[in-house]
Structure 1
């Protein structure tokens, strides 16, 4: 399995936002704190905004906040927002994948792996990733 830079950066940006739910953070601040290339982060945050995982405010007091509380955003939400499919085979979806015998059982294995990965990601919220003590600030906050 390949975890994309987009999914990694998106998750790190969201965790950064979850640590500071009371104020907006700029892309510059997140990029600096997480050592993420600014231009790449800017496009990733745009995808997160379109997916409703972050909200934004323009202006000198602007920046980004979580679009939902940290305990309601899962890693599955993040991965699907920026990558779409969790696992692909040569860039194609596993849906409808079919092989002739004797390899006919292999597509089912790939789909089970995808289902298992989805279950782990869906069971992990941003709150679970926060440093100790930060989860009390972030839980239930982020969407106004």
Structure 2
């Protein structure tokens, strides 16, 4: 199993929304700057996350992207399935489907994929936010004042 940049960036962007803005609308530009993710790539990622019902969008001057449900209800499995499809263990290209026990090996890889999926489903976005706080990551969205006229 190999995690793509799309999946990793998706988790980082969702962490950013949940951690720095408490799930309130956040503009792509802000996430891109804080997480050092190309804004164009984030737009593509957010399209997939929105289609999967993980995030929502709000238009207007105070708009941006927000979590569609509480961080505790969004798992890493949800995110990776939305961005990369099913979580599978991909056999090496040189693994032959021939030999005395090809079905046994395939069954083991299926079981392994199921175990990995359970691990991803056991970690919520709230867990990632708690880990960020425990590591001492500073919340940056709160430092600036907002003036409304």
Please give the range of the TM-score, normalised by the shorter of the 2 chains. Answer: 0.7 to 0.9
Q: Give the count of matched residue pairs.
A: 127
Q: Which runs of 5+ in 1 are unaligned?
A: 91-97, 135-144
Q: Is the 8 A contact 1:71 1:126 kept in 2?
A: yes
Residues 43-54 of structure 1 correspond to what in structure 2 (within 5 A)? 43-54=44-55
Q: Which whole-Å CA distance do the structure 2 matches of 1:13 and 1:39 have between them?
A: 13
The alpha-carbon deviation at position 103 of structure 1 amounts to 2.1
Compared CA separation, residues 89 and 23, structure 1 to 2 (3 A): closer
1:60 aligned partner: 61
Q: What is the TM-score with the length of structure 2 in the denominator?
A: 0.78
The alpha-carbon deviation at position 99 of structure 1 amounts to 6.0
| Aligned CA-pair RMSD | 2.0
1:140 aligned partner: none
1:142 aligned partner: none
Q: Is the 8 A contact 2:49 2:83 kept in 1?
A: yes
Q: Which whole-Å CA distance do the structure 1 matches of 2:4 and 2:98 have between them?
A: 27
2:143 aligned partner: none
Q: Which whole-Å CA distance do the structure 1 matches of 2:62 and 2:54 have between them?
A: 20
Q: Which whole-Å CA distance do the structure 1 matches of 2:101 and 2:24 have between them?
A: 58
Quick check: which has more Rg, 1 or 2?
Answer: 2
Q: What is the TM-score with the length of structure 1 in the denominator?
A: 0.80
The alpha-carbon deviation at position 110 of structure 1 amounts to 1.0
